[in-house]
Amino acid sequence: MYVLRRSEWFVLAYFCYVAITGTIFGIYRPWIMLAAIAAAVWLLARRKSVVRDLAPLAYTLAAYREMNWFAPKFYDHHLEHAWIVWDRWLLDDLHLRSAIEVAGMLVPSYLEVCYALVYAVGAVSVALLFANRRRDHIDRFWLAYLVGTLGAYALFPYFPSEPPRTVFAGHDLPHIVTVIRRFNLWIVGGYGIHSSVFPSAHVSSAFSAAWGLMDAIPERRWIGMLMVLYGFSVAIATIYGRYHFATDALAGIAISLAALITLQRQGTK
């Protein structure tokens, strides 16, 4: 008899939800994805292995790419026109852009690096768990991370939207263009999805990882706190770089709180 981890049950529930949602939207491919993920979870549940510990990275990537199936053929951009008002208030009226650029390339480069490193947050967090001999807590960490990350993906079909840098092309952009920014634009341009930008999964995943690390390594709370600071850096980076609207970033933080609540309801380790 195979015993599934709580994080694995959550993965199955998420892909089942997407399959049902896809049917409502007239998209049926998610059922194939659900079958593939269920088979992978079942096969890996046969034993405790590093592959099983790292499998949520693959599940998250599959969930991300799957959301592209929900990309609409037409956007009316009514959401983006409502959201841009708050961005211009932050960037222009409150001078967020000029404050970031006051020291030249230093802060813009830092923010772009933070944005680029989001893709490695899950793997880095697992490495920290192993380094601190907390492998037995990996299920709780993944549960928090997946609740925050997949929780953001789950809302994409209902908020069809595009990033501000494309909807308002040529406007509100950073005045400083770094090499790292060019790299990030290449990544999101060639490998990004086009269904939605709300909420920001970049932000929700960083904060969810922070809550998971605080829970898994409580005696070194500073590790989780550093991830929180990193999460705030990512949030600012998404707004400054025009990858997301400020509304997306705030929603990402809010979604991550579901991960924190989930950990609290799970009780002590």
What does the longest C-alpha to C-alpha distance in the chain come to? 61
pLDDT in tens, 59-73: 999 999 999 999 999
Residue 219 belongs to some domain of the structure: yes
Give the 3-state secondary structure of residue 123: helix
Residue 6 belongs to some domain of the structure: no
- Count structural domains, the chain: 1
Dig out the tokens for 245 from the structure: 């609207």
Sequence-distant (6+) residues with CB within 8 A of 70 are 22, 25, 27, 156, 157, 160, 195, 196
> Where in the sequence is the domain holding 158, given as residue range(s)?
77-266
Residue 22 belongs to some domain of the structure: no
Residue 124 belongs to some domain of the structure: yes
Rounded distance, CA 210 to CA 252, Å? 13
Rounded distance, CA 125 to CA 122, Å? 5
Residue 65 belongs to some domain of the structure: no
User: Does 265 score more than 90 pLDDT?
Assistant: no
- Please give the C-alpha separations between residue 129 and each of 5, 215, 242, in angstroms, as whole numbers: 17, 11, 33
- The structure's pTM equals 0.95
User: Does 41 score more than 70 pLDDT?
Assistant: yes
Residue 8 belongs to some domain of the structure: no
pLDDT in tens, 192-238: 899 999 999 999 999 999 999 999 999 999 999 999 999 999 999 99
Residue 3 belongs to some domain of the structure: no
User: Does 161 score more than 80 pLDDT?
Assistant: yes
Residue 25 belongs to some domain of the structure: no
